[in-house]
């Protein structure tokens, strides 16, 4: 029995709590658990140098396209309300505001959740957090304004429930962001993330 419990603990399926009220308890598992597990694993592999940053960024970019297509099909009124709220906040702040990265992650995360696919949303969110694209951008006021306009086009396509327009807007946005990466300007054209 002890060996079985040790094995379940190693697999993160149960958690052992010491003390009088302690014991072995089944961990709760939901999509946020998946996001955390993926994010933690990717973070560790990046820290160890086992995978390259550009590999993670490229996978995230490839996941954003089906995510936005599905969001255009499955989005709810609540999803649109949240996306518009994010856009209003993005329009009201400057590019050096400390909330810019969190708003960008929230924007892309909301689209991923609107896809209706919790696994896809978990992966997009985990990879976005690990690549933190805004931190790697040459964020001038013009880049900030263009990015917000591109976000508006994406939301408009999602609102219109037009997957083709949503994909085109997302690809345009990701391409633009990739062209304005700090690494790109340093001459490292293979490195970088998407925004």
Question: The domain spanning residue 112 has which CATH number?
Answer: 1.20.120.530
Q: Is residue 26 part of a domain?
A: no
> What pLDDT shows up at residue 192?
42
Residue 30 sits at φ, ψ, to 5 deg, of: -150, 180
> What pLDDT shows up at residue 177?
81
Q: Is residue 47 part of a domain?
A: yes
> What pLDDT shows up at residue 185?
41
Q: Is 189 helix (H, G, I), strand (E, B) or coil?
A: coil
Q: Is residue 56 part of a domain?
A: yes
Q: Is residue 3 part of a domain?
A: no
* 65, 171 Cβ separation under 8 angstroms: yes
> What pLDDT shows up at residue 171?
93
**C-alpha distance from residue 171 to each of 34, 38, 59, 113 (Å):** 26, 24, 14, 19
> What pLDDT shows up at residue 119?
93
What's the domain range around 152? 31-185
Radius of gyration of the chain (CA): 19
Q: Is residue 5 part of a domain?
A: no
> What pLDDT shows up at residue 189?
43
Dihedral sign computed on CA atoms, order 186, 192, 194, 195: negative
* Domain total of the chain: 1
Q: Is residue 175 part of a domain?
A: yes
> What pLDDT shows up at residue 172?
94
* 101, 90 Cβ separation under 8 angstroms: no
Q: Is residue 22 part of a domain?
A: no
Report CA 70 to chain centroid distance, whole Å. 15
> What pLDDT shows up at residue 88?
96
Q: Is residue 136 part of a domain?
A: yes
pTM: 0.77
Residue 93 sits at φ, ψ, to 5 deg, of: -115, 165
pLDDT in tens, the chain (195 residues): 778 777 767 766 677 788 888 887 776 666 777 888 888 889 899 889 999 888 888 898 899 999 999 999 999 999 999 999 999 999 999 888 889 888 999 999 999 999 999 999 999 998 888 877 666 677 788 888 999 999 999 999 999 999 999 999 999 998 888 777 655 444 444 444 445
> What pLDDT shows up at residue 136?
67
> What pLDDT shows up at residue 195?
58
């Amino acid at each position: 029995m002890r060996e079985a419990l040790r094995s379940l603990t190693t697999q993160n399926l149960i958690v052992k709590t010491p003390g009088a009220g302690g014991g072995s308890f089944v961990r709760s598992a939901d999509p946020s658990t998946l996001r955390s597990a993926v994010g933690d694993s990717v973070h560790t592999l990046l820290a160890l140098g086992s995978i390259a940053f550009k590999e993670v960024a490229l996978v995230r970019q490839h996941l954003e396209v089906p995510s936005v297509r599905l969001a255009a099909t499955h989005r709810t009124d609540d999803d649109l309300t949240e996306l518009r709220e994010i856009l209003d906040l993005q329009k009201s702040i400057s590019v050096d505001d400390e909330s810019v990265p969190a708003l960008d992650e929230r924007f892309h995360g909301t689209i991923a959740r609107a896809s209706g696919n919790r696994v896809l949303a978990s992966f997009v969110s985990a990879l976005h957090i690990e690549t933190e694209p805004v931190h790697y951008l040459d964020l001038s006021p013009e880049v900030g304004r263009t990015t917000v306009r591109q976000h508006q086009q994406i939301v408009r396509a999602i609102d219109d429930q037009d997957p083709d327009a949503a994909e085109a807007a997302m690809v345009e946005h990701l391409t633009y962001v990739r062209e304005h990466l700090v690494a790109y300007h340093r001459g490292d054209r293979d490195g970088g993330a998407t925004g």
